[in-house]
Amino acid sequence: MKTFETESIDLAAFLTAAGNPPTVYLKPNASRALFEFTETEELREAIVSYERGAALPAKKLLTTRSALYREASRVVREGGGR
């Protein structure tokens, strides 16, 4: 199974709000969490939409970003590897 990883919380929030839930983890010796997504056609389309400046409902996007920020902070604080 192929995956797509990003450190960008903004991209991760967009992809998550578009229906693609990530796994949040920390690579060994890293200081920033990574957001890992299962690579699907829907995910690729969402990435292209993000790069083209597509809009999502602001409340959904901000709520999703806040939740991902909390999860990423927890993973970094606890040293959460895979």
pLDDT digits (tens, 9 = 90+) for 45-79: 999 999 999 999 999 999 999 999 999 999 999 98
User: What pLDDT, on a 0 to 100 scale, did the predictor assign at position 26?
Assistant: 94
Q: For residue 81, is pLDDT > 70?
A: no
What does the pLDDT average to over 14-32?
95
* Domain layout of the chain by residue ranges: 3-78
Residue 82 has pLDDT above 80, yes or no: no
Q: CA nearest 16: which of 36, 1, 31?
A: 36
Mean pLDDT, all residues of the chain: 95
